[in-house]
Amino acid sequence: MTFHRRAIVLVTLLFAGSWGIAPTFAQQQPIPPSQQYASVQSHIAVPMQTVPRVDVAALRAEDRARSDRVGPYRVGTVIDTDLTPKSHGTWEQLPSGRWLWRLRIRSRDAVSLSVGFSQFRLPDGAALYVHGPGETVVRGPYTAADATSGQHWTPLVRGEQLILELDVPANRRQAVALNIGHVTHGYRALPTRRDGTRPKSGTCNLDVACQEADPWRDQVRAVGGYTLSRGQNQLFCTGVLMNSTAQDPRLLFLTAEHCVRTLSEAASMVFYWNFQTAQCRQQGSDENATFPDDSLDVGAWDQTSSGALLRARYGSVHEDGEIGGKPDLTLVEVDTDTVPASYDLYQSGWSREDASTQESVTIHHPSGHGKRISFDENASRITGWAQPTDGTTHLRIGNWEIGTTEPGSSGAPLFDENQRVVGVLSGGLAGCGGDGDTDDNNEPDWYGRLAAGFNKGDYQDDTFADWLDPANTGAMEIEGQPFVADSIPPVQPPNFRVANVSSNSVTLRWTAPGDDSTSGTATEYLLRRRAESPIRTQADFEGAQPISNVPAPKPAGSSQSVTVSVDPGKSYYFGLVALDKVKNASPLAATDRDATPVSTLRVLTPPAPNPTRRRSTFNFVVEKRQTVRIELYDTLGRRVRVLMNEEVRPFRRQTVTTDVSSLSSGVYFVRIRGASTAQTARMAVTK
């Protein structure tokens, strides 16, 4: 593709004030539970938790000294906390019978606030909302499905206060397990503050709303900005959604290793999709250096998602602290549960050809600003990091003909002339020439090459090829595709049951479900066990013990089984869930009876209550099918009655209840006799 942009630049400038692409409409705002009932207390009555004051002047001095030219763009500082619904905030019962927990958090003079949950476990039917006092933007609702590696990090809320609201079903309050381990004080604004414009990215940047970006509309949809937390810093970078040879809806996101290096950093990622203005502003104008106050409506700042899993990495920063002899690449998988189809995203094509680009485009978020696009009409050069000629890990862009890059652009994709991703931004010297300038400073940038790291990796032995070419086709390049959310989970695993019980193991059997409903093949099983109480709900399942070494799913309709080692004498219950490629979960399948391994005959629970006035209940289990006789005797050894005399099936909890209301006060003995074992239990009757 030849760009031919110069011929249209003047036309673009003439119409910049009135011309723009149609806006991506804002998401419908959810209504927090406090606004659904007139009887709920005002938020002013909710306790305020104020975090320690932040020394913003010191942070800005550090930023100036570092200049942010290499490395992520810092936008906030992370304050460690320990806030839970049990120790902070207020609980209030709603007219519906549900429970509402609320907490206010304040950090003085913050431009924005957000929170990170170090523990995020919610019962079925519970939902969390986050908003400011004015409720201009309401984040949520967040449910148990929004947890990533047990954590959840929220998008930012404007201002120095935020309010958390947790809506819980009437009988599930005790099942809430939340811990706000982090509060992030934002001191740099992403969108412009409402109390006035604030200069941000340079005036030579070009909005993606401008006409020059028209041939790149799909690629614009693939690029996203994100925050992450590293130690005490909240950072901002850019990245791009990538297609794979599987052509599936897994949201693989390529960015720079110097931005995201660890599993915990990936879990803390909060993505801002379609964060861009709908107007094409004139390069060089003051307006072009700010983000419009109506960004919530036309900039889609409310299109967010949280959480990712680290999939592949190949860079030097996690080892040496510097970008060095590797191409500075990281691939994460975005938590697809939090990305609706309405975001209209795109999975970009890529090329791993061992060649330089003849012309180049980058799409990025300079200084955490709305999305911009830059063009280089000249051939790039294969070099090492920050080298003019030597090396092979990076592509060097000599200078940008239109636009530039800035801090916050780190991780942005470099597209070749065929609109395929070939690398991500490590850093450089590019920037605008000065205030009011329409041109950049004619300095270079370096992009880590996908080709240099495609078959390599330094995280859990996974390579980029494992994820971008899972079909092992050997493809050198692929085209992109629109993201179509996979919302169809596998069906509940049919016929899940206890097939056999021995003295120290339980064998489970089931029929394999499909991927989408009953067709195809699921991707993974989650099998869990629980002692002494059934697994009936999703909350029960989440709290149960995971079982490893579960076989991979077979094609739909296949018979599958697994044998699980257990401790004798305990009653076990089991639950099974099937997952597809994007972690859609099937309904829970649970065993309809307990499995209790024993060596002979075992009384599981003695008679209770004890003493008793009316009735008493106890449980037992046997190893082999046999006749069990249970008799009740008084202290003189006289048989009072026979409670049971029948054949009993093995490894199944047996429950016996006896009515003692007609007996006199005193001590009695329950004698249980099996084929080779007898046991006696004491029981007292009172009147």
Write the single-letter amino acid at 86: K
Helix H segments across 368-488?
A: 450-453, 464-468
Pick from 549, 492, 547: which is nearest to 518 by CA?
A: 492
Q: By three-state DSSP, how is residue 663 classified?
A: coil
The residues, any chain, with a CB within 8 Å of residue 377's CB and separated by 6 or more, are 3, 5, 359, 401
- First-residue to last-residue Cα distance in the chain: 95
In angstroms, the CA 387 to CA 395 distance is 10
- The b/e string for 356-381 (b: 16+ C-beta within 10 A; e otherwise) is bbebbbbbbbbbbbbbbbbbbeeebb
Please report, for residues 152, 257, 269, 272, the alpha-carbon distance to residue 266 in angstroms, rounded to integers and kept in the order given.
11, 11, 5, 15
Greatest CA separation found in the chain? 111
In angstroms, the CA 562 to CA 504 distance is 14
In angstroms, the CA 217 to CA 677 distance is 78
Our answer to whether residue 369 is catalytic in this structure is no
Spot the catalytic one: 68, 207, 248, 328. Answer: 328
- 211 phi and psi, to 5 degrees? -60, -30
Contact yes or no for 404/412 (Cβ under 8 A) = no
- The b/e string for 438-476 (b: 16+ C-beta within 10 A; e otherwise) is bbbbebbbbbbbbbbbbeebbbeebbbbbbbbeeeeeee
Please report, for residues 271, 495, 553, 564, the alpha-carbon distance to residue 508 in angstroms, rounded to integers and kept in the order given.
41, 10, 14, 8
In this structure, the number of other CB atoms found within 10 A of the CB of residue 245 comes to 16
Spot the catalytic one: 306, 360, 409, 410. Answer: 410
Beta pairing partners, 227: 236, 270
Q: What is the DSSP string of 114-131?
A: EEEEEEEE--TT-EEEEE
Our answer to whether residue 318 is catalytic in this structure is no
HSE toward the beta carbon, residue 285, CA cutoff 13 A: 14
The residues, any chain, with a CB within 8 Å of residue 62's CB and separated by 6 or more, are none
Please report, for residues 124, 158, 509, 555, 591, the alpha-carbon distance to residue 537 in angstroms, rounded to integers and kept in the order given.
8, 37, 20, 27, 12
Q: By three-state DSSP, how is residue 289 classified?
A: helix
Q: What is the DSSP string of 76-116?
A: EEEEEEEE-TTTSSEEEE-TTS-EEEEEEEE-TT-SEEEEE
H-run or E-run covering 6: helix 6-14
For the record, the structure tokens of 335 come out as 């938590």
- Numbers of helices and strands, H then E, in the chain: 9, 43
For the record, the structure tokens of 631 come out as 């008799």
- 525 phi and psi, to 5 degrees? -110, 145
Place of tokens 């249980």: 672
Place of tokens 């606030």: 113
Query: Is 28 exposed, middle or buried (CB count within 10 Å of its CB: 0-12, 13-18, 19+)?
Result: exposed
Spot the catalytic one: 152, 258, 364, 365. Answer: 258
Our answer to whether residue 258 is catalytic in this structure is yes
Please report, for residues 120, 121, 386, 580, the alpha-carbon distance to residue 382 in angstroms, rounded to integers and kept in the order given.
45, 48, 11, 40
For the record, the structure tokens of 136 come out as 């201009």
Residues recognised as catalytic: 258, 328, 410
